Amino acid sequence: MLTTTLCGVELKNPIIPASGTFGYGYEFHELYDINILGSLSFKGTTAEPRFGNPTPRIAETPSGMLNSVGLQNPGIEKVIGEELPKLRDCFHGPIMANISGFSLEEYASSCEKIDGEEGVAWIEVNISCPNVHDGGMAFGATPEKAAAVTKAVRAVTKKPIIMKLSPNVTDIASIAKACEAEGADGVSLINTLLGMRISLKTKKPIMANRMGGLSGSCVFPVALRMVWQVYEAVNIPIVGMGGVTTAEDVVEMMLAGATAVEVGAANLVDPFACKKMIEDLPSVMKTYGIDKLSDCIGGAHHG
């Protein structure tokens, strides 16, 4: 059995394409029936339209990639008016709305608007964004800042909120606990790790923004470690992600403590990645003697 339950919502399987790697979903429906997915987290959405960072904003790395796209999106109003209806036309499962912001007011405003939308089951709040009112430090950099966003969003929403945590911190468990204390229904982790590449030809950083977020299979051990640590610290569900490329990785993430698993960079390498993982899960479960996938959640902590 592949089902799992995330914040009271049942998913037919735990696999969710991660925000920023699956557009607004309907683009992939041209390739296969995306209704096989447990859910999908649509492209990070902000209050106002954003063109994103200057190019080049992608760089390859061994076993991964760097990106500094900069939350390119059409803004919350257009997402609600145009993108969500297109997605609902082809996807009939629960939708995860990914919301970003650059001030507490922006987070609260966008989350309040998306809260009333049909089909949206959870709001995934990306707190890796820089706070423009506080010197540019990311909202997820400290427990206090993370708690402030959680509190602001919780005050204006009724849907479950899942705080998406940055790995670029010293103690991710303390940040997860702060979010839980202010009413978060779940946490998702990890977002990308900060990295960079330098061109030997130009002797300069490859990306215009100099640094970017590292993703891909190279980050999987780090992501797994952080999911493990957060599972030990909180009593709310975890959506695990970071370098997941196979059905075996999905099971490993769940053993570390994840209730559901997001798949990111793998979609950019192979648009059928999530489909293949879902198809492979039954045989992987059979190989390792797993009858019910949800029984794996946190299983490695109980040995």
Residues with Cβ within 8 Å of residue 9, at least 6 apart in sequence? 94, 121, 122, 160
How far is the C-alpha of 136 from the C-alpha of 203, rounded, in Å?
A: 27
How far is the C-alpha of 147 from the C-alpha of 201, rounded, in Å?
A: 44
| Residue 59 backbone zone (phi > 0: left; psi -120 to 50: alpha; other: beta) | beta
Q: Tell me how far CA of residue 179 lies from CA of 78, 184, 227, 243, in angstroms.
A: 29, 5, 15, 24
Residue of 258, 177, 182, 195 lying closest to 223 (CA atoms):
258
- Main-chain phi, psi angles of 98, to 5 degrees: -100, 120
Helix (H) or strand (E) holding 154, with range, is helix 143-154
| Single-letter code of the amino acid located at 138 | A
The residues carrying an active-site annotation are 129
